[in-house]
Structure 1
């Protein structure tokens, strides 16, 4: 049961002479939401197309449930549902007819009413899909990805173009599929706040290479007590005398292990008694935006939508 359900090993891919995916390996545990985070053009969609067999990598392997799949092996695809780039459906068919048609193509039992109910489209089952709003089209795309009850869902930028209410609805759907239905979900996004709220694990892709894979906690780090002293050198001497471990940042602020309110108050009292002026005290944690910049070595997140404050 501990075996990853999806694994990519040492994937390389070229676009002409340009190396677009470089020695990329990812591991997706069963039943979790894997957040694939990166700028537009970082290679997220290319990786998803490789998983689906739409692109054959120059080198490397894709494994599903521990079994390597080749370029001509399509049997594993019944275990994967996908929404890549934008929903694909027949606009002149109703939502229910689209699902029934895809079910026939895949040779699975039609479950149009059930699937439309899962994504909140029951009231619009008999309406032509071309008349759906953007958010409804996204939800129909997710319903189509669920045809055949796949184990894995690949959702490429599923909230693109949606308003805040539509984003919230898609986020709640993804959480429900993971927590209540046990689906393994890979969500690619350039929206920091979405990955922050959704993902159990995060993979950061930058210029086609994986720069981080692990938990959000491991990425943003633990909380710290931050003291802003008027006289940093004097504060450092005082803390050393009291045998209190700390780090001094380039901003001359002191970062210590978090402690409760009483212990914090006692520490500030000790600093003041030693003649150290304390301009401010707060509990701080690295934001996802700061962590992304640190991992990628970039200076800005101009084309990323920032994380919650």
Structure 2
């Protein structure tokens, strides 16, 4: 009995340390994103250029999604339940913005394809009006899985279920096995389309890179690296969709394994993909990076920026 108590105490200590570390990482990520968003709004060039606008959309989307999912994780950690109807309202936004980032990545990849492979049409296709229309299309496409998942839930749940107190997670909306399978199929089909877009853009940009020379070749190679990073980020987002299936299987085996798996999944497949956006555009983009250093140093770093 004493050994069991000691083991339980060790598990509790490990989970507490993991929880604290995760909260520190989330706060660091949100702070970096806030700094990037402030930098974006400080310069007119950034909020009038298509790729920076799409970049800002991923920052806002990821920050919102991480903040809300972290709150839900805190609720679960402290065994706080809420009424189902409140959880439904929260998950309308969560299910929407889970998909906004990967769809935006596909749009950003297409923007790089147009800039490198169709430079003469880039200014026309990347106008402010077209960019705003693109953002509306991104949200429209992203809302389809949300509508499908919630409509199957509304058709299956009884009215009394909405008044119950439950842990708020996406699994709450999966009453039947076929709903799990349908959700997985919809997301994977959507991600397949986005992967095709990224591979298509990569192949086209590679052809241009081989034929180009001088500055054009350098620009094309940088575009290729950006597309590869988008592809890697998209892969992490896709793996994120498989995490609930792994967690449910582990929950039936051992609660401690479930807690550890959920911690690692959140760290690797929720937090990590959303740290890549600042890496891709916040640090690799020379213009944005110079502006970021200027504002992060409160104007002490003085170098000519736009």
Tell me if both proteins adopt one fold, taking TM over 0.5 as the criterion.
Answer: no
Give the number of the structure whose residues are more often strand, by fraction. 1
**Structure 1 or 2: larger helix share?**
2
Q: Whose RCO is larger (CA < 8 A, sep 6+)? A: 2
